């Protein structure tokens, strides 16, 4: 097969790649160098003005980025711990195993925006059932959505509820694919369940754990719908994340050029930070 | 079209030329629980406890005092706690309009024409002057007398809260009032309408001091309007549909249902019998149409921004106000931050572009159009 034939077979894939990945990135970079907004909707060229504005005069973006880091790392850690525990629970032969496996997956199958609307109704501080129920046992209304600190944890609760099943699914698949021999050897050696977990299960699960954590970190770093519906980034800017801020700049204020600058910068930061995180996790979790 | 009120002809026009087909008329006004404010027992109790009259609040300070007094206790005897006020405080949910409503009395000085948002001569943002700061300070205090979670109320929450009988006061669009007056509402015929509260002082940006004395300024908040594309091949059909959509019968049916969002913009809507025939008590209908009519007659009105960059200006202000409400910044610091951002936006958009557009709004505010 000569080069031309290979090219013909590669072309459909390359075409799709260029269409959905390369072109949008190049377009975003070009857009970021323009002042496109609602009053000058044109692809003019303003050089790196938007980047200078971002790095010298936009603390709100950086605040939202650090807030996002906190939210995504916290939610993913919780999802990993809970997801792993649930996967271990239904990994072994227990009664109603299939039932539990399906039940645990339900949150992931629901539509995030609709579920967040329902959570918002639950957590509504004066009309929602959560404070109502707590009131019955003498607990004062909790400001789930309007206290700057508690609102962050409310976002975390909803995210953990929605996406722990994804972690559960990946980790359960990993557990089911583990070889049986190391466990038999550990049993012959008389290892306790705890030692089996620490010295056999966890190390064997490390590669898939890293994969699951990275996939969830990528997803969690795009938190937008939950924040949009639950708090609109409030109170104040207490739950504003990078993607929500980019949405405000781009689709609320129609500063398309500046929003492209934010998007591209965010993409670069995420690629660098996730690469570093993957390396660190590999070093910590996989022993040669 | 001849029946459209002058204010909403102005809203649908640009520099004297009408470009839009109005189907709705929006304005902010005060809504209150008439069964409480007019209740002789509560009037007596309020007088005994505070030494002041319980009446329809004339100023934002009175509004705050009454709302705080009637906060967090069961004053309608339904077994549930009620609260002082429901307001649109959620960022990015039209909360900037609520803030302008609260600011108008302190900052729209009839003695200083030439701009409410900017000084038209210099294009200096006025939103961090002492008038606006006073309004934001009042608003921060209001977080203490809204229902739990009220700081996160959007327009829908406000309508549901006041319309559901949860609060003594509210102010914003008609929808909450109309919803409260529907037959299925728990507070049907228990509400009243009045002008937005005023203030006993108003900032004078020329003398750089407060002018003492009562001041009040209605806030018109546009309204839905429709345009037909210049390149449309079926212009007549489009206009025919609009005429049907907004004809008298459809319009009358729409304005009586809160969730429809269609509000009065025709002179005929200002007749009490329009409302009594859908079940409103006569005195409530009269107070309602009287409120709307007085807004039309006012010579000290505020209209929202209609300039290039409006979204950015409003979003910057809303973010700053939200930070103050959440306790992240003081009112002065928050509005200073907003003013700085307004200057940045002005520089990006071009001061002259904004001035040119804003001069049309100022002409409306100064009764020159």
Q: Which residues of B touch A252 (CB under 8 A)?
A: 92, 311, 315
User: What does the pLDDT look like over A28-68, one tens digit per residue?
Assistant: 999 999 999 888 888 999 999 999 999 999 999 999 999 99
Contact yes or no for B326 and A248 at CB 8 A: no
Q: How far apart are CA B223 and CA B121, in angstroms?
A: 29
The residue written with tokens 């929808």 in the block is B175
Closest CB to B315 among A37, A127, A253? A253
Q: How far apart are CA B92 and CA A231, in angstroms?
A: 10
For this complex, say whether ipTM is above 0.90: no
Among B347, B300, B341, B350, smallest CA distance to B321 is for: B341
Q: What mean pLDDT comes out for the span B47-69?
A: 97
Q: Which residues of B touch A126 (CB under 8 A)?
A: 83, 147-150, 161, 166
User: What does the pLDDT look like over B15-30, one tens digit per residue?
Assistant: 888 999 999 999 999 9
* pLDDT over 80 at A179, yes or no: yes
For residue B299, what pLDDT is reported?
Answer: 92
Closest CB to A234 among B312, B322, B344? B322
Choose between A9 and A262: higher pLDDT.
A262
Global confidence as pTM: 0.88
Around A43, how many Cα atoms within 13 Å sit in the side-chain half-sphere? 6
Q: Is B319 on the interface with A (CB under 8 A)?
A: yes
Q: Which residues of B touch A39 (CB under 8 A)?
A: 308-309, 349, 353
DSSP state of A142: P
Among B257, B103, B84, B105, smallest CA distance to B174 is for: B257
> To the nearest whole angstrom, how far is the Cα of B323 from the nearest Cα of chain A?
4
Across chain A, mean pLDDT equals 91
For residue B7, what pLDDT is reported?
Answer: 84
Domain-embedded: residue A9: no
Q: How far apart are CA B99 and CA A32, in angstroms?
A: 33
Contact yes or no for A127 and B161 at CB 8 A: yes
Domain-embedded: residue A115: yes
For residue A288, what pLDDT is reported?
Answer: 61
Interface test with A, best of B151, B315, B317, B354 (most A CBs within 10 A): B151
pLDDT band at B234; cut points 50, 70, 90: very high
Contact yes or no for A126 and B161 at CB 8 A: yes
Choose between A159 and B176: higher pLDDT.
A159
pLDDT over 90 for what percent of chain A? 72
Question: Hey, what long-range contacts does B264-272 have (CB within 8 A, 24 or more apart)?
Answer: B264/B5, B264/B25, B264/B174, B264/B292, B265/B4, B265/B5, B265/B8, B265/B22, B265/B23, B265/B24, B265/B25, B265/B223, B266/B3, B266/B4, B266/B5, B266/B25, B267/B3, B267/B4, B267/B5, B268/B3, B269/B25, B270/B5, B270/B296
* pLDDT over 70 at A2, yes or no: no
Q: Do B95 and B191 form a contact (C-beta atoms < 8 A)? A: no
Domain-embedded: residue A130: yes
For residue A40, what pLDDT is reported?
Answer: 85
Contact yes or no for B92 and A232 at CB 8 A: yes
* pLDDT over 70 at A1, yes or no: no
Contact yes or no for A237 and B152 at CB 8 A: no
User: What does the pLDDT look like over A201-256, one tens digit per residue?
Assistant: 999 999 999 999 999 999 999 899 999 999 989 899 999 999 999 999 999 889 99
For residue A93, what pLDDT is reported?
Answer: 74
B164 token code pair: 């559901």
Query: Which residues numbered 228-247 in B keep a CB inside 8 Å of some CB on A?
Result: none
Q: Is B93 on the interface with A (CB under 8 A)?
A: yes
* pLDDT over 90 at A144, yes or no: yes
DSSP state of B220: E
pLDDT band at B66; cut points 50, 70, 90: very high
* pLDDT over 80 at A94, yes or no: no
For B241-296, strand residue ranges (E) read none
Q: Quick check: helix, strand or coil at residue A213?
A: helix
The CA distances from residue B265 to A82, A164, B165, B271, in Å, are 57, 51, 27, 12
pLDDT band at A4; cut points 50, 70, 90: confident
Among A150, B220, A113, smallest CA distance to A142 is for: A150
> To the nearest whole angstrom, how far is the Cα of B94 from the nearest Cα of chain A?
12
For residue A75, what pLDDT is reported?
Answer: 96
Q: Do B310 and A252 form a contact (C-beta atoms < 8 A)? A: no
For residue B223, what pLDDT is reported?
Answer: 86
Q: What is the DSSP string of B142-208?
A: HTTSSPTTGGG--HHHHHHHHHTT-EEEEEESTHHHHHHTSTTSTTTT-EEEEPPPBEEEEEETTTT
Q: How far apart are CA B326 and CA A66, in angstroms?
A: 19
> To the nearest whole angstrom, how far is the Cα of A96 from the nearest Cα of chain B?
41
Q: What is the DSSP string of B58-127?
A: SBHHHHHHHHHHTSSB-SSSSSS-BEEEE---STTTTHHHHHHHHHHHHH--TTS-S-SSEETTTTEE-T
User: What does the pLDDT look like over B176-225, one tens digit per residue?
Assistant: 899 899 888 899 999 999 999 999 999 999 999 999 999 999 998 888 98
> To the nearest whole angstrom, how far is the Cα of B279 from the nearest Cα of chain A?
28
Among B288, B276, B257, smallest CA distance to B30 is for: B288
H/E stretch holding A2: none
Domain-embedded: residue A208: yes
Contact yes or no for A237 and B161 at CB 8 A: no
Q: What is the DSSP string of B231-256?
A: T-S-HHHHHHHHHHHTSHHHHHHHHT
- Domain spanning B28-220+302-365: which superfamily? Periplasmic binding protein-like II (3.40.190.10)
Closest CB to A253 among B161, B311, B323? B311
Q: Is the peptide bond before A144 cis (omega within 30 degrees of 0)?
A: no
Q: Which residues of A touch B328 (CB under 8 A)?
A: 148, 236-238
Q: What mean pLDDT comes out for the span A165-189?
A: 93
Q: What mean pLDDT comes out for the span B111-136?
A: 96
Where residue A28 falls (left for φ over 0; alpha for ψ -120 to 50; beta otherwise) is alpha
Q: Is B150 on the interface with A (CB under 8 A)?
A: yes
Cβ contacts from A onto B, under 8 A: 98
Q: How far apart are CA A81 and CA B304, in angstroms?
A: 51
Q: What is the DSSP string of A13-38?
A: HHHHHIIIIIHHHHHHHHHHTS---S
* pLDDT over 90 at B236, yes or no: yes
Strands B17-18 and B21-22: unpaired
Question: Hey, what long-range contacts does B203-211 have (CB within 8 A, 24 or more apart)?
Answer: B203/B106, B203/B107, B203/B109, B203/B129, B203/B130, B203/B131, B203/B134, B204/B109, B204/B111, B204/B112, B205/B109, B205/B112, B205/B119, B205/B126, B205/B129, B206/B111, B206/B112, B210/B130, B211/B109, B211/B111
Query: Residue A136 is part of which domain span?
Result: 59-285
Q: How far apart are CA B301 and CA B366, in angstroms?
A: 8
Closest CB to B326 among A131, A148, A252? A148
User: What does the pLDDT look like over B293-332, one tens digit per residue?
Assistant: 999 889 999 998 999 999 999 999 999 999 999 999 999 9
Distance spanning both ends of chain A, measured CA to CA: 41
Q: Which residues of B touch A35 (CB under 8 A)?
A: 348
Q: Say which CATH number the domain at A138 has.
A: 1.10.3720.10
Q: What mean pLDDT comes out for the span B337-353?
A: 94
Count of helices and strands (H, E) across chain A: 14, 0
Q: How far apart are CA A124 and CA A141, in angstroms?
A: 10
Q: Which residues of B touch A64 (CB under 8 A)?
A: none
Closest CB to A232 among B93, B150, B327? B93
Q: Quick check: helix, strand or coil at residue A64?
A: helix
Domain-embedded: residue A102: yes
Nearest CA in chain B to A58: B341
Domain-embedded: residue A47: no
Among B296, B276, B274, B295, smallest CA distance to B284 is for: B276
Tally of structural domains, chain A: 1
Q: Which residues of A touch B93 (CB under 8 A)?
A: 232
Strands B219-220 and B27-33: antiparallel
Chain A: residues touching B (Cβ < 8 Å): 35, 37-39, 57, 60, 124-127, 131, 141, 143-146, 148, 231-238, 248, 252-255
Q: Is B151 on the interface with A (CB under 8 A)?
A: yes
Interface test with B, best of A146, A224, A246 (most B CBs within 10 A): A146
Domain-embedded: residue A219: yes
């Amino acid at each position: 097969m000569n080069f031309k034939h290979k090219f013909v077979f590669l072309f459909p894939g390359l075409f799709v790649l260029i269409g959905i990945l390369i072109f949008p990135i190049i377009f975003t970079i070009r857009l970021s160098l323009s002042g496109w907004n609602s009053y000058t909707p044109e692809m003019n060229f303003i050089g790196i003005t938007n980047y200078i504005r971002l790095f010298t005069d936009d603390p709100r973006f950086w605040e939202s980025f650090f807030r996002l880091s906190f939210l995504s790392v916290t939610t993913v850690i919780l999802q990993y711990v809970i997801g792993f525990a649930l996967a271990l629970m239904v990994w072994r032969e227990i009664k109603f195993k299939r039932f539990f496996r399906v039940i645990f997956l339900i949150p992931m199958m629901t539509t995030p925006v609709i579920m967040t609307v329902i959570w918002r109704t639950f957590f509504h501080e004066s009309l929602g059932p959560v404070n109502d129920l707590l009131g019955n046992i003498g607990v004062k209304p909790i400001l789930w959505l309007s206290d700057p600190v508690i609102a962050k944890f409310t976002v975390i609760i909803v995210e953990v509820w929605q996406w722990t099943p994804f972690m559960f699914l990946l980790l359960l698949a990993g557990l089911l694919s583990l070889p049986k021999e190391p466990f038999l050897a550990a049993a012959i050696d008389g290892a306790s369940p705890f030692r089996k977990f620490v010295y056999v299960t966890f190390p064997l699960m490390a590669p898939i754990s890293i994969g699951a954590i990275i996939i969830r970190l990528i997803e969690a770093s795009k938190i937008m719908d939950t924040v949009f519906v639950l708090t609109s980034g409030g109170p104040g800017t207490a739950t504003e994340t990078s993607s929500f801020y980019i949405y405000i700049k781009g689709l609320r204020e129609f500063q398309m050029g500046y929003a492209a600058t934010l998007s591209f910068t965010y993409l670069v930061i995420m690629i660098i930070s996730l690469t570093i995180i993957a390396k660190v996790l590999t070093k910590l979790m996989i022993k040669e | 079209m001849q029946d459209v009120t002058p204010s909403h002809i102005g809203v649908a026009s640009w520099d004297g030329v009408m470009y839009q087909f109005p189907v709705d008329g929006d304005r902010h006004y005060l809504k209150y629980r008439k069964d409480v404010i007019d209740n002789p027992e509560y009037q007596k109790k309020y007088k005994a406890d505070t030494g002041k009259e319980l009446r329809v609040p004339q100023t934002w300070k009175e509004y705050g005092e009454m709302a705080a007094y009637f906060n967090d206790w069961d004053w309608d005897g339904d077994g549930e706690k009620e609260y002082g006020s429901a307001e649109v405080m959620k960022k990015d949910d039209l909360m900037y309009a609520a803030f302008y409503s609260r600011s108008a009395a302190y900052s729209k000085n009839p003695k200083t024409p030439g701009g409410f948002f900017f000084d038209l001569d210099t294009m200096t943002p006025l939103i961090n002057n002492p008038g606006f700061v006073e309004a934001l300070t009042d608003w921060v205090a209001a977080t203490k007398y809204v229902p739990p979670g009220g700081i996160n109320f959007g327009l829908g929450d406000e309508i549901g809260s006041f319309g559901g009988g949860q609060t003594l006061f509210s102010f914003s669009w008609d929808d909450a009032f109309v919803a409260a007056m529907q037959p299925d509402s728990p507070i049907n015929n228990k509400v009243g309408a009045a002008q937005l509260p005023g203030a006993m002082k108003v900032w004078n940006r020329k003398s750089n001091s407060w002018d003492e004395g009562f001041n009040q300024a209605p806030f018109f908040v546009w309204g839905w309007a429709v345009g037909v594309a210049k390149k449309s091949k079926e212009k007549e059909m489009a206009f025919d549909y609009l005429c049907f959509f907004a004809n008298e019968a459809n319009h009358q049916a729409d304005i009586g249902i809160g969730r429809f969002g269609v509000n009065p913009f025709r002179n005929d809507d200002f007749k009490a019998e329009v409302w009594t025939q859908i079940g409103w008590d006569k005195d409530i209908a009269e107070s309602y149409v009287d409120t709307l009519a007085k807004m039309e007659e006012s010579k000290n009105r505020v209209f929202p921004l209609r300039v290039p960059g409006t979204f950015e200006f409003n979003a910057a202000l809303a973010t700053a106000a939200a930070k103050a409400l959440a306790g992240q910044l003081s009112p002065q610091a928050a509005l200073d931050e907003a003013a700085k951002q307004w200057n940045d936006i002005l520089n990006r958009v071009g001061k002259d572009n904004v001035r040119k557009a804003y001069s049309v709004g100022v002409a409306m505010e100064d009764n020159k159009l």
